[in-house]
Amino acid sequence: MKKLLASTAIMLALGLPAVAQDYTPDPAATAGGTITVTYKDDVATLDPAIGYDWQNWSMIKSLFDGLMDYTPGTTELRPGLAESYEISPDGLVYTFKLRAGVKFHNGREMTAEDVKYSLDRVTNPATQSPGAGFFGAIAGFDAAGEGGLSGVEVVDPLTVKITLSRPDATFLHVMALNFASVVPKEAVDAAGDDFGKQPVGTGAFKLAEWTLGQRLVFEKNADYWRAGVPFLDSVVFEVGQEPVVALLRLQNGEVDVPGDGIPPAKFMEVMADPAQAERVVQGGQLHTGYITLNVTLPPFDKLEVRKAVNMAINKERITQIINGRAVPATQPLPPSMPGYTEGYAGYPYDVEGAKALLAEAGLADGFETELYVMNTDPNPRIAQAIQQDLAAIGITANIQNLAQANVIEAGGAGTAPMIWSGGMAWIADFPDASNFYGPILGCAGAVEGGWNWSKFCDEALDAKAVEADSTFDPAMAADRLKMWSDVYMGVMEQAPWVPVFNEERYTMKSERMGGEDALYVDPVSIPVNYDYVWVKQ
């Protein structure tokens, strides 16, 4: 036991992943008030095991808690429902000590049984959770079903022990995912399939009203276990609002935060007006937009061709198409992600060099191919820019403008030679370098129906990725990041992607909104961290 405690101490001190112990909310913050947030689409579901889009992601964060959490406005882990945790020296056993006296919205106290139930539920195939795969490292995952996970054990009402089948350096991040939220069994049983409409959690807010297609009202959880928060009495989500209309209403003082952001057509106008631009907060996000080059289809099976395409794309110009709301990308990882290779310039924009490479590949006259793209603005415009860039080196790319689902299908089936990822570009589920590899660049995703649309599979890189993720020892944190950096540099050498840009986030708010800027570009709560923002009366 002593050894365990020692290892925890090291873990906390060295911080891999970085663990922040406390957070001091804005001292000027005042409690009370209601804010209005708008969205174009109705909310799909608030069931944490199922919800997996940007809209419900941050809502679920406010209704539920998991064992781990993030310091507001950052990507630093901090304990959530777990008061503390210990990790065994071999990195296989995590023992979480729960906070006492935490209550669900239905008034019942949360216990270790609930943690086990929640993890069993999300990994049970019958739940059809899109997040089940994240829990693959827990022992017994492959046999998960009605019997639950053998690796999750209730030690006493406030202690839960999770055994892994392999060391996983990202495990604490996984426990901070919405999918790992703790839910009460009786409420899930009572609501049946409708739990997503009648959510019960331990979060800072509880659902007070949901009028389908019109509005949702979150009400402050007066019994919230974290003292002092939330500041707001309630948050009203009005759905079915076109972004342009939402902006007009914001300008009219009726809306506090347009959830879908500033519509592209209005972006320049807003930024040109100092009074409005002042209320726009800018921040990085863990996003990369890229073009996939299908390495199994000729002529993209030739490395020279893939490199030539990389050199032909004018990333600066594409960034301008989206009003400069991004920075040109050089590699799969975005700059704010740990493991990003500083100083790597990527393939240069070099038309002549690209032509020379094509000639080297025996394709001096170019070739004809297809570029798949999702049919919502601005993606078709970006595809046209890519098309022009390719035409300059003799490649004729015919644009396939399709609905999202059809692009995903073509990508998974491996029939699309090139895909512009826009609209479906990769945004990290959790802030760790590994999250940009597995499904989209690893061999596991390069199967029929997988999300690795390049169908790129390099066994050596895969092995290195596994090694990096097994490096759970905090003392090796720097080595681990170096390993990941090497993996992504290895990927770039083989050029299955053209990384195009890393999107920046812009959140606009009304004059009455208070709280530090970081809360408005919170990496895990988009558009804002509802628990910590407040209103000036």
Partner 1 sequence: MAAYLLRRLIQAALILLGVSFITFFLLYVLPADPVRQIAGRSATAETVQNIREQLGLDQPFIVQYGRYLAGLVQGDMGRSYLQKTEVAELVWSRLPATLLLMLGAILCELVLGLTMGIVAALWRGKAVDQVLMITSFVTVSAPQFVVSLLLLYIFAVKLGWFPIGGYGTFSHLVLPAITLGILGSGWYSRMMRSSMIDVLRADYIRTARAKGLTRARIVLRHALPNAILPVIAMIGIDIGIFMGGIVVVESVFGWPGIGQLAWQAIQRVDIPIIMGVTLVSAFAIVLGNLLADLIAPLIDPRIKLR
Q: Which stretch binds partner 1 (CB under 8 A): 62-70, 250-258, 271-279, 510-518?
A: 250-258
Q: How far is CA 271 from the centre of its chain?
A: 27
| Number of CB atoms found within 10 A of residue 76's CB | 18
Output 122 or 158, the one with its CB closest to partner 1: 122
Residue 149 binds partner 1, judged by CB under 8 A: no
Q: ∠177-181-185 over CA atoms, to 5°?
A: 155
Q: 140 with 151: CB under 8 angstroms? A: yes
In the bound state with partner 1, the residue whose beta carbon lies nearer, of 136 and 380, is 136
Q: Which is nearer to partner 1, 20 or 244 (CB)?
A: 244
Site for partner 1 in 159-198 (CB under 8 A): 193-194, 196-197
Closer residue to partner 1 in complex, CB, 101/133: 133
Closer to partner 1 by CB, 292 or 341: give it.
292
Q: Between residue 426 and residue 455, which ones bind partner 1 under the rule CB under 8 A?
A: 429, 438-440, 444, 447, 449, 451
Q: Which residues contact 282 (CB under 8 A, 6 or more apart)?
A: 504, 505, 506, 521
Q: How far is the CB of 137 from partner 1 (least distance, A)?
A: 12
Rounded to the nearest whole angstrom, what is the least distance from the CB of residue 450 to partner 1 in the complex? 8
Shorter beta-carbon distance to partner 1: residue 47 or 304: 47
* Contacting residue, 26, 233, 409, 486, with partner 1 by CB under 8 A: 409
**89 near partner 1, rule: CB under 8 A:** no
Binder among 408, 441, 492, 521 for partner 1 (CB under 8 A): 408
Site membership for partner 1, residue 316 (CB under 8 A): no
Q: Answer yes or no whether residue 403 interacts with partner 1 by CB under 8 A.
A: yes
| DSSP code, position 19 | B
Is 266 near partner 1 (CB under 8 A)? no
Tell me the C-alpha to C-alpha distance, in Å, between residue 439 and each of 352, 427, 442. 34, 12, 6
Q: DSSP assignment of 101-165, as one string?
A: T-B-TTSPBP-HHHHHHHHHHHHSGGG--TTGGGGTTBTTGGG-STT--TTEEEEETTEEEEEBS
CB distance 499 to 329 below 8 Å:
yes
Between 50 and 204, whose beta carbon lies closer to partner 1? 50
Q: Which is nearer to partner 1, 239 or 395 (CB)?
A: 239
* Residues comprising the chain, all counted: 537
Q: How far is CA 180 from CA 23, 173, 202, 378, in A?
A: 22, 10, 13, 34
- Report the C-alpha gap between 486 and 107 in whole angstroms: 50
Determine which residue in the list 25, 48, 66, 131 makes contact with partner 1, applying CB under 8 A. Answer: 131
CA distances (Å), origin 266, targets 38, 147, 263, 272: 17, 53, 5, 10
CB of 375 to partner 1, least distance (A): 10
Helix, strand or coil, per DSSP, at residue 328: strand
The Cβ of residue 125 has, within 10 Å, a number of other Cβ atoms equal to: 10
CB closer to partner 1 out of 134 and 231: 134
Q: Cis peptide leading into 299, omega within 30 of 0?
A: yes
Transcribe 217-242 into DSSP letters.
EEEE-TT-SSTT----SEEEEEES--
| Rounded Cα–Cα distance for residues 465 and 382 (Å) | 32
Using the rule CB under 8 A, which residue among 90, 242, 316, 517 binds partner 1?
242
What gap in Å lies between CA 17 and CA 260, rounded to an integer?
A: 31
What crossing angle do the helices spanning 243-251 and 264-272 adopt, rounded to 10°? 20
Give strand ranges (E) for 375-410: 396-402
> What's the gap between Cα 422 and its chain centre?
15
Tokens of 150: 């053998």
Q: Choose, by CB under 8 A, the member of 5, 100, 143, 212 that binds partner 1.
A: 212
Q: Which is nearer to partner 1, 40 or 317 (CB)?
A: 40
CA-based end-to-end distance of the chain: 51
Residue 492: which residues within 8 A CB-CB, separation 6 or more?
331, 332, 344, 346, 347
Does the protein bind partner 1 through residue 126 (CB under 8 A)?
yes
CA 500 to the chain's CA centroid: 18
209 is a contact residue toward partner 1 (CB under 8 A): no
From the list 13, 227, 275, 405, which residue makes contact with partner 1 (rule: CB under 8 A)? 405
Helix axes 459-470, 477-494, angle to 10 degrees: 160
Binding mask 21-50 for partner 1 (x = CB under 8 A): -------------------xxx-xx-x--x
Identify which range of 122-130, 149-157, 345-353, 518-526 contacts partner 1 by CB under 8 A: 122-130
What is the smallest separation between the CB atom of 134 and partner 1, expressed in angstroms?
6
Identify residues 221-240 at the interface with partner 1 (CB under 8 A): 238-240
Question: Is position 412 an interface residue for partner 1 (rule: CB under 8 A)?
Answer: yes
Kindly tell me which of 154 and 244 has the beta carbon lying closer to partner 1: 244
Q: Residue 132, interface with partner 1 (CB under 8 A)?
A: yes
Q: What is the contact surface with partner 1 in residues (CB under 8 A)?
A: 40-42, 44-45, 47, 50, 52, 125-126, 128-134, 136, 193-194, 196-197, 211-214, 238-242, 244-245, 248-249, 251-252, 254, 403-406, 408-410, 412, 429, 438-440, 444, 447, 449, 451
